[in-house]
Structure 1
Amino acid sequence: MFNIASTKIDKSKISLKEVIVVSVIYLCVISFILRVQLETGFNILTGDRYDGLIENSLLEHWYNVFRGKSAWNIVGYFSPYPNTLGYNDGYFLYGLIASFFRFSGIDIFLSAELVNIVLRTIGYYSFYALCRRCIGLKPFLAITGASIFTLNNNLVLQSGHAQLLSVALSPLLTLLLYRYMLFLTSGNSRKKAILYGSASGILLGSWLLSTFYMAWFFIFFTMILTIFIVLISYWEKRRHNESFIRPSFNAYEIIIPAIVTLLSFLPFLIVYLQSAKKVGVHHFGEVLSYTPRLTNLLNPGDTNFLFGKLSQHYFSIFPPNFQLGGEFMVGFPPVILIVSLVSLIYFFKNSAFTIESVLIRSLLLAVILSLLLMIKFGNHTLWKLVWELVPGAKGMRVTARYALFLNFPITVLVVYFLGKVARYKYKGLTIILACLLIMEQINLGRSQWLNRQEQLNFIKQAEEPPPSCRSFFVSGQRLDESLNKKDDATYNVYAHNVDAMLLSEIFALRTINGFSTFNPSDWDFGFQPHETYISRVDNYINKHHIQTGLCEYDLYTSRWHTHTGISTLPLKVQ
C-alpha cells in the first residue's frame, strides 16, 4: 500500500561521545530504580515472599531444563499432572538469561534480579535505537524517550510481578519488525528481509512462552495499529486520487518468516492450549473486577515524585469501591497526558498525506481506541467485545495491566511530538517539557521486599531428600514465620505452597503442592484448617495413586519424613 523505505531515517553513525552520554544517563536511571538493592548490598530484592519466590522457582526450572534434569514443559509443582508449565507464565526468556548467571555460580535470587536488570537494559537501549534509527530523533530526545520508558511511573509499584517487566521487549521487537518491513518493501535485500522477519517471529514466540500478558498486549495493539494504517492509507489515497503502490518483494520473504514464526509459536500453543482445556479461562465477571476506571488511569500514585501529594489529596475523596490501590495503580502522570492531547490536535490539524503522517495518526488512534476499550464505566466496558472476539483475551484477568504496555506507544508519540516542536524554534520549551516528562516518571514507591539472605538460609537448612523419594508434599510452616502469621489468610494459602515450589526446583523433585494463576481442579492445599490439611493431602494422593515414593518435608523442622497419613516418622537419609 505504501513503501516504508520512503521514510526518513537518521543514518549517521553514533559517535563515542554519544555512546558515553547515553550510557551515563542509563546508569543514573538504573541506579535510581535499583536504589534499594544498592543500599542493602543486593540483599533486599525485587518481589516478595510469595510472587517473588514463585518467579524464582520458574527460573530455576529452566536452569534444571538446561542441565538435563527436567522436561521443558513440566515444572516441579502440581505433581503428577503433566504440562504444568501452562498453569502460569512460562518465563522462558527470563530462565534463559537466569541460567547464564546460574552457570556462572551466582545464586538463584541474585540471578533473578540480574534478569530484571538485563530486561531494563534491553528496554532502554532498544528504545533509544528506535528513536534514533527509525524515528530520526536527535540524541537529546532519544535519551528523553528512553528514560521515560525505563523509569515508567505506572510500572514501579507493579514490578513485584516481574513478568510485567517484559514490556521492555516492545521497542526491540518493534525495531526488528521495522527493519523487516523496510527491507521487504524496498526490495534491496531478500536475505535481510528474511533474517529480520524470522528474528521477529522467534522473539515474539519466545516472549509468549515467557510472559503472556505483555506479549499479547503487543500483538493486540499492533493489530489495531495495522487496521488504522490500512484504513487511513486507503482513505487518503482515495481523497487525493492517487493509485496504490505495489511494493516489490519475493514470496519467500513472507513465506519463510511466516513458517519460522509458526514454529516459534508451537511451544506456546502446545503448553497453553492444553492447559486451557484442563483448567479453563477467566470468567468475564472476574475480568470486569480488574478493569480500570478513568480515575485509575489519571492517578499517578501518592508516591510520585512531582505529583504524589496532589494525588494523595485529590484521590482520597473517592470511596473505597473505586479500588485505587493494588493492581489498579497504573495511572499516567499529568504532563505526558497533556502533551499527548496537544499532539493529537497538532497531528490531525497538520495532516498532509505522507507515510510519516499516516503512521503517526494511526498510532494516535490506536492509543485512543485502546484506552476506550479498557476503561470501565460503571459496570460496563467495551473490553467485553475484546474478551469475546479476540483469541487469547480470556486468558488474562487484569485488564488494567494494558496501561503498563501503553506507556510504550504513548512515550513514542510524545518524544516524536517534541521533535516537531523543537524544529519550530521552541527549543527552550522542548527542554523544559523533556525535563518535566522525565521527572514526573520518578516514583519513590518500591516493590523490593524479598530478603535474599533469609531465603538463602531457608534453602541451606533444607537437607537433601532421601534417594527413595520420587515426589513430596510439605507439612507445617516455617518456624520463624508461622507464629506471627498463623491467622493471615494470604500466608496460609501461599507460604507453604510457594516453599514447596522453590524446594522442588532446588532438588529437581516434583511436589504435589503449588500455587499458580490456575490451579488443578482438585487442588485443596490451603493450610487452614490445619486439622484437615493432611487428610486433604491423602485424598489427593489416593486419587492419583502416587503413594509409592512419596515423601513429606516438614517445614517446621526442615526434615524429611515418611508419610503414613496419620503422623510423621523420621526417615533416615542415606
Structure 2
Amino acid sequence: MEAIGQHSRHPAQTLVKGFILLLAMCVFLFIQFRVQIINGFTTLYGDSYDAAIVVAILEHWRNVFAGDSHWSQLYYFHPYQNTLAQTDGYFIVGIIYSVIRLFSSDPFVSSELSNVVVRAIGFLSFYWMLRRVFDIRFGWAVFGAGLFIIANNLTVHGTRVQLATLAFAPFVATLLYRAYQGLMADEPKRLFAWGSGAGIALGAWALTCFYILWFYVFFTVALGLALLYVASKNQRLAFWRALKQHKWTVLAVAVVAIVSMLPLLSVYLPKAAESGVRSYGSSQAYAVTLPGILQVGESNILFGELYNKLLKLVVPSYTWAGEYYNTGIAPIIFVLFCFSGWAIYQNRSRSPAGLLMWAIFLASVVTWLCVIKVGKVSLWFFVYHLFPGAKALNVIGAYQIFLAFPIVVAVIAYLSKLIPRLPLGIVLILGALLIGEEMNRSYIALDRQAELSKVAGLTKAPEDCEVFYVSGWAKQESQIDKIYAHNVSAMLIAELLQMPTINGFASFNPPDWNLSDPNDGTYDQRVREYLNKHGIHNVCKLDLPTKQWQALAP
C-alpha cells in the first residue's frame, strides 16, 4: 500500500513495517477464520442453505467470465429474466471466486477463501485510510485495521459474505477523500482520476451487495451534511468556490458514477417493480431496540452470556428472535466510542482533521438513532419515506454492522491522538480486551463433504431435456427444510451443469413461485401447472438422491 512508509524515508524501515503489516493481517485473519483453519476447512461458515446459495451465485459469475452465461441471468427461476436481481449480486466476490476456482475444484473451499480475500482487502484498505486520511500512527493503524475485520457483529454473520463487503468502505472513502483533496488543491486531473475511481468502485460494490452499499451512501450523505454544519463560514465558501470552479470536472465524475450504476439499475429497478418494496412495518420488525445496541449474541465469547444474564435482571421482559438480533456493538468499544465523542468535540476546532472526526461522530450517532426504536417510535419513518432506496430495505438493524466502520475509526483516533500516552501494560491489556470482545463461536456448521456429496455423480441430462426440476430429499420435515433443501440443491446443480431449472429460492421469489414441500404428493402437479402457465417444454425431473434423470411426459 502507498501509505506503508509515509512517515519513514528509510527503505529498511519501510520494509520492516510492510512485513509487520502483512504479519498482523495474517494474525487477524487467523483469528477470524481460526475454526475453519484448525478443522482443515472441513466445516465452514453457515449451513446447507445460505452458504450453498452463495456458492451457486458465485458459480454464476464463473460461468459469466467463461462466456457461458449472461451476466444478469442465472440458471434458476426459469423462465424469469434478470434473476440476479432476486438477491444480492456478489459481483466483486464473484471475480475473486472465479480466480480461486482456477486453482481449486472445490466450490465450497473457493467460496470460503473468497471471504478470506475480502477480509484481507478490508484490512489493507482500512490501514491505508487510517494512515492517508487520518494520519494515524503505524501501530494504531495496524491494530485498527485488525479490529475492523474481526468485528463481532460481522463475524456472527460470517456466512453472508455480501455483508463482509463492508471491507470496501475504507477503500471507497479514501478514494473520495483523495478526490476532495484534488478539488480543494485546484487539481482537476487528480479530482477526476480519484473521483472516477470511487464512482466505478461504487458501481461494482452496488452489484455486489445493495444493503451495505446503501448503508455507505446513507452514512456518507449524513457525513456530508455534518461537515457542512461543523465547517466555518470561510471553509464552506472555499468549498462552494472550488465546486463552482471545477463544476464540469465534478459533473464528469458524477456521470462516471451514474454510468457505473446502470447495470444495477437496469436489472434491480424492474425487479423491484415486479416484486414490490418492503413495507414500513416489516422493516420495524428488524429495528434495533435499546438492549439491542449492545446485543452481541449468545455466541460472543466474552460478553454473550454475561450480557443476556444482565438483561434478564434489568429488563425481564426482553426477548430476542430472528437471525439479526445480534448486530450490537461490543461493550468496551462502545464505551470508548462514547468517550471519544467528548474528546473529539473538545478538539474539533484545532485542525481540519478534528472537524472531520467530529462530523464522523455526529453522522454515526444521528444515523444510528434512525434504526433504533423505542416502543413503536422510530426515526426510520422519515428515512423510509424520504431517502431514496430505503423502501427496498427490510433488515435495517444490520446498519449496526456497518457502524463498525466509523466506530473503529473514532476509537482508534481517540486512543492514538486524543489521550495521554498510556503505560505499555495498560495498552496491552486494553488491546487484548478489545480483541477478545470481538471473538465469538460463530455459526460454522457447513459440512463441506456432505455438501459436495449432494452434487457428486452428476451426469448430463438427456439430449431432449432443456429444462429441469428436482425431486425432494428423503427427509424434508421442518418448514425450513421443505422450502430450502431441494431448491438450493437445484440452484447449485443448475449452475454447475449450466442448465436452466424452474426451482430456486431467494430474497424475492417470482410472483407465482409455489415449489416448496416436494414430498407432499402435490408437488409434481404444481410443477405441471407452472410449466403449462409459462409454456415450458422438454422438461426433465432430476431425482436428487440417485442423480437419475426422468423425462416428463407431455
> Does the CA contact (< 8 Å) of 1:183 and 1:192 recur in 2?
yes
1:370 Cα offset (Å): 1.3
Q: TM-score, normalised by structure 2?
A: 0.93
2:486 aligned residue: 496
Equivalent of 2:549, from 519, 540, 560? 560
CA contact (8 A) 2:36 2:43 kept: yes
1:360 aligns with 2:349: no
Q: Are 2:222 and 2:363, in contact at CA under 8 Å, matched by a contact in 1?
A: yes
Match of 1:572 in 2: none
Task: Give the Cα–Cα distance (whole angstroms) in 1 for the partners of residues 186 and 7 of structure 2.
Answer: 19
For residues 87-107 of structure 1, the C-alpha deviation after alignment (integer angstroms, 9 at most, x for no partner) is: 110111111111112233442
> Where do residues 69-80 of structure 1 align in structure 2 (5 Å cutoff)?
69-80=68-79
Q: Map 1:459-470; keep pairs closer than 5 Å.
A: 459-470=455-466
Correspondence list, 1:172-571, <5 A: 172-188=171-187, 190-233=188-231, 236-237=232-233, 244=238, 246-247=241-242, 250-317=246-313, 318=315, 322-323=319-320, 326-352=323-349, 354-422=351-419, 424-426=420-422, 428=424, 431-432=427-428, 434-436=430-432, 438-477=434-473, 479=474, 482=475, 486-527=476-517, 530-546=520-536, 548-564=537-553
Percent of aligned pairs sharing the same letter: 34
**Which one-letter code corresponds to 1:144 in the other structure?**
F
Matches within 5 A, 1:49-128: 49-128=48-127
Q: Give the residue type in structure 1 aligned to 2:198.
A: S
Note the C-alpha offset of 1:243. 6.1
Distance (Å, rounded) in 1 between the aligned partners of 2:225 and 2:211? 21
What is the Cα deviation at residue 528 of structure 1?
A: 5.7
In structure 2, distance between residues paired with 1:84 and 1:155: 27
Change over 3 Å in CA distance of 1:295–1:504 after alignment to 2:
same
> What are the equivalent positions in structure 2 for 1:150-189 lying under 5 Å apart?
150-188=149-187
Q: Does the Cα contact within 8 Å between 2:294 and 2:330 map onto a contact in 1?
A: yes
In the TM superposition, residue 462 of structure 1 has moved relative to its aligned partner by 2.1
d(CA) in 1 for partners of 2:398, 2:192: 33
Moved more, 528-537 or 289-298: 528-537
Distance 1:310 1:359 in 2: 36
Distance 2:317 2:200 in 1: 44
Separation in 1, partners of 2:334, 2:136: 21
Q: Which amino acid aligns with 1:523?
A: W
Distance in 1, Cα, partners of 2:256 & 2:233: 34
Deviation of the 1:10 alpha carbon: 5.4
Question: For 1:305-328, what per-residue CA distance to the aligned partner results, in whole angstroms no more than 9, with x for missing partners?
Answer: 332342242134556763166311
Q: C-alpha separation between the residues in 1 aligned to 2:18 and 2:480?
A: 47
Q: 1:437–1:269: structure 2 CA closer, same or farther, 3 Å change rule?
A: farther
Matches of 1:534 and 1:209 in 2, distance apart? 35
Q: What is the CA distance between 1:184 and its match in structure 2?
A: 2.1
Q: Which letter maps to 1:331? A: G
Alpha-carbon distance in 1 for matches of 2:418, 2:23: 26
Deviation at 1:564, TM superposition (A): 2.9
Q: Give unmatched runs, 5+ long, in structure 1.
A: 1-8, 566-574
Q: Distance in 2 between matches of 1:69 and 1:52?
A: 23
Equivalent residues, number: 544
| Segment of structure 1 superposing worse, 162-171 or 377-386 | 377-386
Normalized against structure 1, the TM-score is what?
0.90
Q: Contact 2:348/2:357 (CA < 8 Å) preserved in 1?
A: no
Paired amino acid for 1:449: A
Paired letter, 2:468:
F
Give the C-alpha shift of residue 281 in structure 1. Answer: 1.3
Q: Secondary structure at the match of 1:162?
A: coil
Q: 1:157 corresponds to which letter in structure 2?
A: V
Offset at residue 176 of structure 1 (A):
1.1
In 1: Cα distance, 2:101 partner to 2:164 partner: 20
Contact 1:306 1:439 in 2 (8 A): no
SS state at 1:45 partner: strand
TM-superposed deviation, 1:294: 1.5
Question: Secondary structure of 1:292's partner?
Answer: coil
In structure 2, relative to structure 1, the CA distance for the partners of 1:324 and 1:495 (3 Å cut) is closer
Deviation (angstroms), 1:537: 0.9
Deviation of 1:244 (Å): 4.1
The CA distance in 2 between the partners of 1:311 and 1:511, in whole Å, is 46
**Contact in 1 for aligned 2:136/2:413 (Cα 8 Å):** yes
1:536-561 per-residue CA deviation (whole Å, 9 max, x = no partner) reads 11111110010x22111111321110
Q: Secondary structure at the match of 2:211?
A: helix
In the alignment, the residues of structure 2 paired with residue 521 and residue 53 of structure 1 have an alpha-carbon distance, to the nearest angstrom, of 23
Q: Is the 8 A contact 1:94 1:115 kept in 2?
A: yes
Counterpart CA distance in 1 for 2:318 and 2:510 is 31
Any idea what the Cα deviations from partners look like across 1:208-232, whole Å, max 9, x if unmatched?
Answer: 1111110110000000000111122
CA shift at 1:64, angstroms?
A: 0.7
Q: Tell me which residue corresponds to 1:6.
A: none
Secondary structure of residue in 1 paired with 2:300 = coil
Q: SS state of the match for residue 265, structure 1?
A: helix
Tell me the amino acid that sits aligned with residue 96 of structure 1: I
CA contact (8 A) 1:501 1:513 kept: yes
Deviations 1:252-297 (A, max 9, x none): 4323322211111000000100100111111122111111102111
Counterpart contact for 1:79–1:510, Cα < 8 Å: yes
Relative to structure 1, is the Cα distance of residues 243 and 206 closer, same or farther in structure 2, using a 3 angstrom cutoff? closer
Provide runs of 4+ in structure 1 moved above 6 Å.
none
Q: Structure 1 residues 435 and 259, CA, compared in 2 at 3 Å: closer, same or farther?
A: same
Cα distance, 1:415 vs structure 2 = 0.4
Which whole-Å deviations, capped at 9, do the CAs of 1:426-481 have from their partners, x for residues lacking one? 4558725751553244323122222222222222222221222211111121x4xx
Greater Cα offset, 35-44 or 198-207: 35-44
Q: 195-204 or 347-356, which moves further after superposition?
A: 347-356
- Alignment partner of 1:516: what SS? coil
> Is 1:307–1:440's contact at 8 Å kept on the other side of the alignment?
no
The AA in structure 2 aligned to 1:342 is F
Please give the root-mean-square deviation of Cα atoms over the aligned residues, in Å: 2.2
| Code of the aligned partner of 1:90 | G
Answer whether contact 2:469 2:490 (CA < 8 A) is retained.
yes
Unmatched tracts of structure 2, length 5 or more: none
Separation in 2 of the partners of 1:555 and 1:474? Answer: 6
Amino acid aligned to 1:56: V
